[in-house]
Amino acid sequence: MVDLIANFDTLHQLYRAYMPFIAPAGLFVATTEPHFLGQELKIGYRLPGATQVNEFHGVVVWINPLGASGGRPAGIGVKILSDAPEHKQRIENLLSRELASGDLTCTM
């Protein structure tokens, strides 16, 4: 059973949610549900242009509360624990041009 699902309709949405500074990789999931650091979750995510949902087990490593500074959305950053290299490669292949961008993300 998946705890949360994130749908990324555009590359820009995916770029804003990707957390390359989390080793091996992390994703920000917008949610107003309460979560706590260290909480383990099963996350589903759909990449731009895809119909299938990818899933991973992860742990909460970041929390943006409601009303976070900089107008950032409420949600959690989840460190990818299961099959991390595959998820990282899948995401970074799509974001290859955006990763060097200086645009703001949901976390930093």
DSSP state of 37: T
Between 107 and 44, residue with greater pLDDT:
44
Helices then strands (H, E): number in the chain?
Answer: 2, 5
User: Strand, helix or coil at 44?
Assistant: strand
8 A C-beta contact, residue 55 and residue 44: yes
CA 86 vs CA 54, 55, 75, 92: distances in Å = 10, 11, 24, 10
Instruction: Specify whether the CB–CB gap between 20 and 37 falls below 8 A.
Output: no
CB 56 within 8 A of CB 42: yes
86 or 106, higher pLDDT: 86
- pLDDT (tens digit, 9 = 90+) per residue, 58-103? 999 999 988 777 778 999 999 999 999 999 999 999 988 766 666 6
pTM above 0.95, yes or no: no
